[in-house]
Structure 1
């Protein structure tokens, strides 16, 4: 979110590269976030309720917190619907309350952002027990994120497990799966969902089948797109047993991924108990 410099020669390297000059006006597209806010009379932060959008919100508030002259211009707009699916001209007409960005909201945002970056999920879980009313959508977002930890019985996160359930119900096209998962869970975008599908197919003991025998080179985007467009996925026998909550994916496959600042491995596998909504330590 810094001003444009020599490191931003290529397109898509500066945070305003995709911003229309119609919206930035005389401010231009070369400024950093703080300067952009400084040159505005007021700044409204509109945040979708989806988990990633709530993470972006608390991160932005944490970044801007030291700049008190900018904070004085800020207000926060929250809704129960996804703002991003509406055209800007339409949502701009909504009569939504703008909440002042108080010290209480800034403190909670910094707390939440640092909790998500912590080396264990414990600070995020502890945050659920605190008053989060200053950022109304934060609690639901934290729960959705915690649900993506490996499940206590299956070793799969909520989106991974829902993938198996949808395929068992006949939703076999990868792109349709991604759309449905995005609608139901809303934690991962389409690119991240495609990586989740790859991880469930190309592993030691696959739970899904239907992709080509070998994954294409990372830079072969056309082959990757074709694979996700044309394939039909199905559960393996092992996948059916995991879907039935009879076997644990992590006991048959190596695990190495990140949940925020937490590195998850088979030896250090933090889990989420969906039934009791509790964190299970390794």
Structure 2
């Protein structure tokens, strides 16, 4: 190594340590790298619950209320954590940022929220560095940065995983965040079709998000169908069903507690798709599961879950409610369509 290259590496590390680092959670040993002297965790499950078009303060209130109601957070602790997170992000507006994230849907939604906020704060793109990977040499099924040692994490900024963002990337993130929060899903398809060299996992994540809309085939989201298929295939309890369903994901993103909540909805529906034992108790890893006869019909495409049971679910800014939801995922064309017959294509380029 020449003296000049050593100097450049030292300056690069110095730049990283001076920045505010942002990550999805503390399962990643960023403190152990020595690079992240200032660090905040975003910690929001944005693919679950309402994420409407409102100002950041109101969105924080809505998200804390949802996460508290779902049992994911204590209200006071959640409010404090989100307020501290938002304040720290804004207070650094004259400095640099380093974002450490992964390729899955959970992380990609956090990335676009953060980048949209930074754009709103007037932070130039060149002061934002993104470190985002979807694979790692020697790990056959990469699940996230939490699998890496502090030494492996420390080496990532010296690879092509480190990207200094451009204004175009910041603009794409802002448009994607707006599309996700819109009250109709018109803009999701354009983001899913985008191929960005900087936000290279975003299109894939939006495609996966779109498949959570109820299908024209059976009224199931992709996750619901995979859970039912796991039970039909021999998974006898909720823990095994979760493991089998997660194994089908190219990039697993859904935590087990959220999946158990989904199973509970299918078991407690007016026309249950699952039998859960013991009855009357929250679904957990040891809950025994069996497919009901109607569940088998729905899985076979002979009945429609939404028509039978209705739906009340938020996907970003869209609330899907009732038995006649206006948008569906069309398996034949692989796009979100208007649910009335010959569909109005909601995958727009604008």
TM-score (norm 2): 0.66
Instruction: Tell me if 1:90 matches 2:147.
Output: no
Q: Aligned residue for 1:231?
A: 287
Per-residue deviation, 1:131: 4.5
> What is the root-mean-square deviation of aligned Cα atoms in Å?
2.8
Contact 1:75/1:99 (8 A) holds in 2: yes
Q: Distance in 2 between matches of 1:43 and 1:278?
A: 35
Say if 2:310 and 2:324, in contact at 8 Å, map to a contact too.
Answer: no
In 1, are the aligned partners of 2:125 and 2:165 still within 8 Å (CA)? yes
Q: How many residue pairs get matched?
A: 255
2:200 to 123, 136, 161: 136
Distance 1:57 1:264 in 2: 25
**Paired residue for 1:247?**
303
Query: Alpha-carbon deviation of 1:264?
Result: 0.8
Inter-CA distance 65–203: structure 2 relative to 1 (3 Å threshold): same
Instruction: Assess, with a 3 A threshold, how the Cα gap between structure 1 residues 73 and 203 changes in structure 2: closer, same or farther.
Output: same
Counterpart of 1:212 in structure 2 is 278
Alpha-carbon shift at residue 108 of structure 1 (Å) = 0.1
Give the alignment of 1:259-274 within 5 angstroms.
259-265=315-321, 266-274=323-331
Structure 1: gaps of 5 or more residues: 3-7, 18-27, 216-223
Q: Counterparts in 2 of 1:21-100, with a 5 A limit?
A: 32-36=88-92, 38=94, 42-69=96-123, 71-81=125-135, 82-94=144-156, 95-97=158-160, 98-100=162-164
Which 4+ runs in 1 deviate beyond 6 A?
none
Distance in 1 between the 2:255 and 2:226 partners?
15
Q: Once the 2 structures are TM-superposed, how far is the Cα of residue 269 of structure 1 from its aligned partner?
A: 3.5
C-alpha displacement of 1:37: 6.3
Per-residue deviation, residues 222-246 of structure 1 (Å, max 9, x unmatched): xx4xx51332101000111111122
Identify the residue that residue 314 of structure 2 maps to in structure 1. 258
**Cα distance, 1:206 vs structure 2:** 0.6
Q: Secondary structure of the equivalent of 1:150?
A: coil
Tell me, yes or no, if the aligned pair for 1:120 and 1:262 is still in contact at 8 Å: yes
Q: For 1:92, what is the secondary structure of its paired residue?
A: helix
Q: Deviations over 1:53-87 (max 9, x none)?
A: 10100110001113345644211122123223324
- Counterpart position of 1:197: 263
Segments of 5+ residues of structure 2 without an aligned counterpart are 1-41, 43-55, 57-73, 136-143, 340-350
Query: What's 2:233 paired with?
Result: 169
Tell whether the 8 Å contact from 1:270 to 1:280 is kept in structure 2 after alignment.
yes
Counterparts in 2 of 1:230 and 1:79: CA distance versus 1, 3 Å: closer
Following the alignment from structure 1 to structure 2, what is the Cα–Cα distance between the partners of residues 105 and 197? 37
Residues 184 and 36 of structure 1: CA distance in aligned 2, closer, same or farther (over 3 Å): farther
> Closer, same or farther in 2 for the Cα pair 1:235/1:29, shift >3 Å?
closer
Question: Is the 2:125–2:170 Cα contact (8 Å) retained in structure 1?
Answer: no
8 Å contact kept, 1:178–1:193: yes
User: Do 1:182 and 1:190's aligned partners in 2 also have CA atoms closer than 8 Å?
Assistant: no
> 2:71 — aligned with what?
none
* Residue 177 of structure 1, CA deviation: 2.3
The TM-score normalised by the length of structure 1 is 0.80
